[in-house]
A and B are shown apart, each in its own frame.
Chain A
Amino acid sequence: MKKVLLSLAMLMLLTASAFAVPEWPIQKYTLKNGLTLLTLEDSSTPSVSFQVWYHVGSKNERPGITGISHLFEHMMFKGSKNFADGEHDRLVQSSGGMINAYTSNDMTVYHQEFGRDQLELVAKLEADRMQYLTITDKQLSSERQVVLEERSERIENSPFGDVLEQLMANVYLAHSYSWLTIGWRKDVENIKLEDCLNYYGTYYNPANAVVVVVGDVKSAEVQKTIEKYFGKIPGNPKIPRPIYNEPEQRGERRISYHKVSQLPMFIAGYQCPPAGHADSYALDVLSAILSGGESSRAYQRMVYTDQIAIAAGGQYQSMEQGGVFFAYSMMQPGKTTADGEKALYEEIEKLKNEPVTAEELQKAKNQIEAQFFMGNQSNDQKGSQIGYFQTILADYKLIFQQADKYNAVTAEDIMRVAKTYLGERSRTVVNVIQENKGATPMGM
């Protein structure tokens, strides 16, 4: 009886739950030099998030200088014409602000959070380093060491970083998504100051940037301030863009990777379509059905019922020019990656051959809806959302059109995208070969 009641409750939710995202009152302003400014007022906290999005990342690199986007991001803190090395941090932080930056395959983002009084200061600092960066060989060699330490931490001495690096290098044979943003060690060791300056000259200009300001400051005031400090920087709209040159994959690629690892694990990647592609929404929904929460198919089968893994799942990750569906599991001691691959691929086959239930479909959509609202509570989170859509998909308004696209996904769509993208012949698998004396389970 209870079960019936529950199902009724779920049915009621089913009928009433198409999700919608109310539009945020964003104002868009384009400077003559091509700089895009997006503002969103929110006075509920005395806080402003100020982000500068450069449309450049490791996708724009070539072999020999892999990692330059990220190394260069570090160099952006080394001083510009009107601000000495370290001044940017000092000025922002000593007025209570926080500052940081990150680089990905497709973009490089500088973000700071501060009180409204610091708007002018931050605009001035960001404009200055957009056009007048002053960097020396000495600074480069010291920062290079910092980045190599970062690489050690994130890749070489990490349980997963190097495994992911192997995977991407084999999922992509031709395209620059083939290397991680941190770059190959030897390339980072050999990047020259001249490479950095060329890179700066090519990609760092207002026509290749989006400024996002969210928080306790009036849009009119932001526009005036941005115009004042960025308006005179010459813009060059001729930014070189890489083409998507990856050939079609015609056969599974299997990689053995030896490392010290206490538990057996594998990660597979399937080439998938890019962000914003019509099928990307169904792939997100499929990911949620396979591994969203402990009621998901992969968790229920592999972690809970069969107890062969401590973690398992499949997740679509989209980038600007391509996407990868990752399938992975970390096995229980005594189980093999072959056990894991078998179980996970069987679950993927089911997605191709049997329609998911109406309940599962609705659950996945509800999860995507909840994640949207839970993940967009702070000024910084909203700013990131706006910056991402404007930079990668060229229109922030798509934020508010996603809901319709997710709502429209059907059980047939899930089967279709699973068949289209998750086939054996477009799969690349990295199996970790355990190279350690701890390979036998402890206490057993």
Chain B
Amino acid sequence: MKRIFIFLLFAAALLLSNGQPILAAITLPPMSEKMLDNGLKIIVVENREQPVVSMRLILKSGTAADGKGKAGLANMAAGLLRKGTASRDATKISEEIDFVGGYLGAGAGLDATNVTAEVLTKHFDVGLTLLADIVLNPTFAESEIDRLRKQTMAGLMQQKDDPGTIADLQYSQYLFGEHPYGQPGSGTVESVSGITRDDIVGYWKSNFVPDNAVLFVAGDVTAADVFPKIEAQLGGWPKGNVAKLEVVPAPKINGTRVVLINKADATQANVKIGHLGIDRYNPDIYAVRVLNYILGGGGFRSRLMSDIRDKRGLTYGINSQFSFDRYQGEFTVTVSTRTDSTTQAISATIEHIKKIREADVTPQELSETISFYSGYFPRQFETPEQVASQLSIVELYGLEKDYLSKYIDNIASVTAPTVRAAAQKYLDPDNLLIVVVGKADDLREKLKQFGPVTEIDLFEL
């Protein structure tokens, strides 16, 4: 009894402090910044804890720049970088980076392409030299293009065995339509077979330019040591001029609709539910973050998780997400559940979306969310890679200098009415896209309750 009483006191104290959270400050390790004459920005983050250095070159162009019908172009260009340069063939590049136990690779997301090298401090020069060489001097040999194309095509086939990936790809395609975010970044069989060497070289020439890039060097180095080395390797990189993408906004969904992809052997349905969201620059972004945390972003604490997983046992995991990208964003709930509970999980999700629009979130939900961010955010600067990753968001999207230092304050200023206003503005339970990958014979009739159903067989994709 005494124990319980003490606990109650303790819990009350915690709640009290949650009501007026003590906002933690972010401590950043020593950093230095330099701009080369060709417009390449370099940011060095010093952290001597482990003898490791990570280098990340971010190009502010990603799969959104693929171009119509050329889905997969940015990733093919990135994938080919380490497949041969003027002075090293693919195997030699692999030999050199593998010999020092390092990592060297490149890949494209929607808005950016990352070229990364990670090595032990004593091999810094090897890492930097290879990174610079593959960015500046790739040869894009036809034989390597063929090889990568063949592998990519086989990879695209293999994707069909992974219901989560199928759901992701189809969802983006139906959600964004003709918008560049609607094209799969890994390409399609059709687009990949049509991409030529000229396309790839053209993409590289226009997007791999220093004034479109930021280089992060994070780890066991000093700026004084590495600036001259970087300048020697990348100072001669000729400037370019990246054309601004003209992007037409994606159309809104008019009335809830269902896309059902038949995977006849599935015993579970992979479901994505949502609609368009907000871009990176929307001033309501903090209210939307709090809203999303309470609805389905807050792990075990979210409404969707505690109801649909913990109370009803319908799923191993459910989450909601707002993505904030350069041109557009999306709001998406992702869940997988056994075939016979699919409609139950979808209905429950829609109910939660409705509910959070209709009433204010509770004071406890709000204060716990703010406390969470206040404690969680400062810990996202633990490893040098994490620091670089946070800073890269600021650079990539050209955010305010004080974006990181004001982050927690901005979260803390969110109130229950602003959360509700955001829910009403940015959640739309009557106009949803619902994508389901599962056994169509057991699903098609039941799914009609949500809206018209478009059915596709997996093997016709």
Give Cα A293–Cα B153 distance, bound, in whole angstroms: 21
B interface, size bucket: 35 or more
Residue on B nearest A82 in the bound complex, by CB: B7
CA distance A333 to B153 in the complex (A): 9
List A141-158 residues whose CB lies under 8 Å from chain B: 141-150, 152-153, 156-158
Instruction: Give A36 to B428 CA distance when docked, in angstroms.
Output: 53
A363 at the interface (CB under 8 A from B): yes
Q: Please, which residues of chain A bring their CB within 8 A of the CB of B52?
A: 370, 373-374, 377
Residues of A within 8 A of B351 (CB): none
- Number of A residues near B (Cβ < 8 Å) is 84
Specify which chain A residues have a CB less than 8 angstroms from the CB of B314 in the assembled complex.
145, 149
Q: Please tell me if the beta carbons of B24 and A115 are within 8 angstroms of each other in the complex.
A: yes
Partner of A94, one of B317, B336, B372, B383: B372
Considering the complex, which residues of chain A in the window 415-444 have a beta carbon less than 8 Å from any beta carbon of chain B? 436-438, 441-443
Q: Which residue on B lies nearest to A118, using beta carbons?
A: B375
Is B266 in contact with A82, judged by CB distance below 8 angstroms? no
Question: Does A295 sit at the interface, judged by CB under 8 A?
Answer: yes
> Quick check: is B277 within 8 A (CB to CB) of the other chain?
no
Please give the distance in Å from A99's CB to the nearest CB on chain B: 8
Please name all residues of chain B whose beta carbon is closer than 8 Å to the beta carbon of A293 when the two chains form the complex.
94, 97-98
Looking at B51, B161, B298, the one whose CB has the most chain A CB atoms below 10 A away is B161
Within the assembled complex, what's the spacing in Å between the Cα atoms of A377 and B157? 36
B188 → chain A, closest Cβ, in Å?
A: 10
List A249-271 residues whose CB lies under 8 Å from chain B: 259-263
Tell whether, in the assembled complex, residue B336 and residue A153 are in contact, meaning their CB atoms are under 8 Å apart.
yes
Point out the residue from B51, B158, B267, B311 that lies within 8 Å of A263, measured CB to CB.
Answer: B158
Q: A residues within 8 A CB of B376?
A: 96-98
Q: Is A223 an interface residue (CB 8 A)?
A: no
CB distance from A148 to the nearest CB of B (A): 8
User: Does B120 make an interface contact (CB < 8 A)?
Assistant: yes
What string of 1s and 0s marks CB contacts (under 8 Å) between A1-21 and chain B?
A: 010001000100100000000
Given known contacts A307-B150, A366-B100, A443 and B193 CB-to-CB distance under 8 angstroms: yes
| B315:A369 contact, CB within 8 angstroms | no
Nearest to B82 among chain A residues (CB) is A294
A45 and B381 form a contact (CB under 8 A)? yes
Alpha-carbon distance between A438 and B457 when the two chains are bound, in angstroms: 11
With a cutoff of 8 Å between Cβ atoms, the chain B residues found around residue A147 in the complex are: 316
The answer to whether A152 and B267 have CB atoms under 8 Å apart is yes
Q: Is the CB of B268 within 8 A of A152?
A: yes
Is B35 an interface residue, CB under 8 A from the partner?
A: no
Task: Please give me the residue from chain A that is nearest to B312 by CB atom.
Answer: A142
Q: Is B189 located at the chain interface by the 8 A CB criterion?
A: yes
Q: Which residues of A contact B50 (CB under 8 A)?
A: 373-374, 376-377
Give the contacts of B99-157 with A (CB-CB under 8 A). 99-103, 118-120, 147, 150-151, 153-155, 157
Could you say which of A84-92, A237-245, A274-282 contacts chain B? Answer: A84-92
CB-defined contacts of B458 to chain A, threshold 8 Å: 438
The complex places the Cα of A310 from the Cα of B148 at a distance, in Å, of 10
Q: Is the CB of A115 within 8 A of B157?
A: no
Contact B368–A93 (Cβ < 8 Å): yes
In the assembled complex, which residues on chain B have CB atoms less than 8 Å from the CB atom of A195?
none
Whether the Cβ atoms of A330 and B189 lie closer than 8 Å is no
Q: Which of B299-307, B353-361, B390-398, B442-450 contacts A (4 or more CB under 8 A)?
A: B299-307
Interface flags, B1-43, vs A, CB<8A=1, else 0: 0011001000100100010000010010100000000000000
Q: Is the CB of A363 within 8 A of B99?
A: yes
Whether, in the assembled complex, A165 has its beta carbon less than 8 Å from a beta carbon of chain B, the answer is no
Query: B387's closest neighbor in chain A, by CB?
Result: A45
B99, A149: Cβ atoms under 8 Å? Answer: no
Report Cα–Cα, A156/B270, bound state, in Å.
13
B268 touching A438, Cβ below 8 Å: no
CB under 8 Å from chain B, chain A span 2-51: 2, 6, 10, 13, 42, 44-47
Within the assembled complex, what's the spacing in Å between the Cα atoms of A310 and B163?
20
CB contacts between A and B, total, < 8 Å: 221
Task: State how many angstroms separate the Cβ of B421 from the closest Cβ of chain A.
Answer: 24
Residues of B close to A332: CB separation below 8 A: 150-151, 154
Q: Is B373 an interface residue (CB 8 A)?
A: yes
Minimal beta-carbon separation of A113 from chain B (angstroms): 7
Enumerate chain A residues within 8 angstroms of B100, measured Cβ to Cβ.
13, 366, 370
Q: How far does the Cβ of B27 sit from chain A's closest Cβ, in whole Å? A: 7
Per-position contact with A for B365-386: 1 when CB-CB < 8 Å, else 0?
0011001111111110111110
Task: Give the distance to chain B from A16, nearest Cβ to Cβ, in Å.
Answer: 9
Q: What is the bound-complex CA distance between A332 and B313, given in angstroms?
A: 40
User: Given the complex, which residues of B lie within 8 Å of A359, measured CB to CB?
Assistant: 99
Partner of A45 from B317, B371, B379 at Cβ < 8 Å: B379
B157 and A90 contacting across the interface, CB-CB below 8 Å: no
Residue of A143, A377, A438 most packed against chain B (CB within 10 A): A377
Say if the beta carbon of B254 comes within 8 Å of chain A.
Answer: no
Closest beta carbon of chain B to A302's beta carbon, Å: 12
How far, in Å, is B96 (CB) from chain A's closest CB?
8
Is A379 among interface residues, defined by CB-CB distance under 8 A?
Answer: yes
- Contact, CB under 8 Å: A94 / B101: no
Contact across chains for B379 and A146 when beta carbons are under 8 A apart: no
Residue contact B94 to A295, C-beta cutoff 8 Å = yes
B310 near A157 (CB under 8 angstroms)? Answer: no
Q: How far is the CB of B108 from chain A (nearest CB, A)?
A: 19
Interface pairs A-B: 4 shortest CB-CB: A96-B375, A370-B101, A145-B313, A94-B368
What are some 28 contacts across the A-B interface (CB < 8 A)?
A: A10-B99, A86-B300, A94-B18, A94-B367, A94-B368, A94-B372, A95-B14, A99-B300, A141-B313, A153-B317, A157-B268, A157-B336, A261-B161, A263-B158, A293-B97, A296-B98, A303-B151, A363-B99, A363-B101, A366-B101, A367-B98, A370-B102, A373-B51, A374-B103, A377-B383, A377-B385, A437-B459, A442-B153
Could you list 14 further interchain pairs (A-B, Cβ under 8 angstroms) beyond the known A374-B118, A437-B459?
A: A45-B382, A46-B379, A142-B313, A144-B313, A152-B267, A153-B268, A153-B317, A262-B158, A292-B98, A293-B98, A332-B151, A370-B52, A377-B383, A438-B458
